[in-house]
Amino acid sequence: MPEPGKAAATAPFGRRLAEKIRERGPLCAGIDPHPGLLADWGLEQNVSGLEEFALSAVRILAAEAAVIKPQSAFFEAYGAPGIAVLEQVITEARLAGALVLLDVKRGDIGSTMGAYTSAYLDGHGALAADAVTLSPYLGFGSLTAAIETARAQGRGVIVLARTSNPEAAELQNALLPNGKTVAQSIVDQVAAINADAGTLGDVGVVVGATVAPGELDLGALNGPILAPGFGAQGATVSDLRAVFGHELRGVLPASSRDLLRRGPDPAALRAGVREIQASIR
């Protein structure tokens, strides 16, 4: 039997995600081993502290949430041993029944993008996840091979469109010659890929829960929407509904630091997940 995380999935990512949302609700629980969180948990800022934090968190969160989103940068900061911990997190999350969205935000051209694709989307890669975040800001076409590889292997891609950080507006809301914003153009190109999908497409977008309602037309997307900004950055359930509509179809509200602050007590962390899930439902 293939080791979790190292074999290509067979069912399309969108279908598996839709099923997992029906089973567990839409929460995307982040695992961000931020130095401040390690300190809050009483852990040293070293590989041992990282491992205790990340594995303690994933064993609670992955049993409750539909999607686990490790932030790769916080593991990379510890070098090769940190990457080894990230591999453990991916495996543990899969064993607990959660889907893994690896937050890497990669985006490049040619052979470099091919190497990223091999690392994160190839069925035999040690870091291969159910889906990854990618950046289209070297041109949406630079992601074509990665998207094709992901879909061929039953994996997904979540493309940055309109992110929650304040600095993003200058670029992402810039107008193109066709009158659309850059962000809307990205959404439309993703929608075109998902046009022939069934319940939910395999390619999604990142749209912050903090953006202005009506800023983007998401009606034709037919794909998942990762919605950062929920919780710690101030967005509420009411904001989610204002931005994405009442049904929140395919929307994955992401909570990382706000949720992880409930630890290290396992019962408090578990209660935090269930509280957020209940509020979204």
| Catalytic residue annotation | 105
Q: Give one DSSP letter per residue of 205-259, joined into a string.
A: EEE-TTSPTTSS--TT--S-EEETTBSTTSB-HHHHHHHH-SS-TTEEEEESHHH
Beta strands 28-31; 67-70: pairing state = parallel
254 neighbors 28 (Cβ within 8 angstroms): yes
What does the CA dihedral 60, 98, 46, 39 come to, rounded to 10 degrees? -40
Cis peptide before 264 (omega within 30 of 0): yes
What does the CA dihedral 103, 125, 129, 147 come to, rounded to 10 degrees? 80
Structure tokens at 148: 């094709």
CA-nearest of 228, 207, 242, 183 to 27 is: 228
As a whole number of angstroms, the distance between CA 102 and CA 104 comes to 6
Buried b (16+ CB within 10 A) or exposed e, 88-100: bbbbbbbebebbb
CA-nearest of 255, 261, 257 to 276 is: 255
Say which residues have a Cβ less than 8 Å from residue 142's Cβ, sequence separation at least 6: 107, 108, 109, 113, 136
**Which residue is it, tokens 């994933």?**
58
As a whole number of angstroms, the distance between CA 141 and CA 109 comes to 9
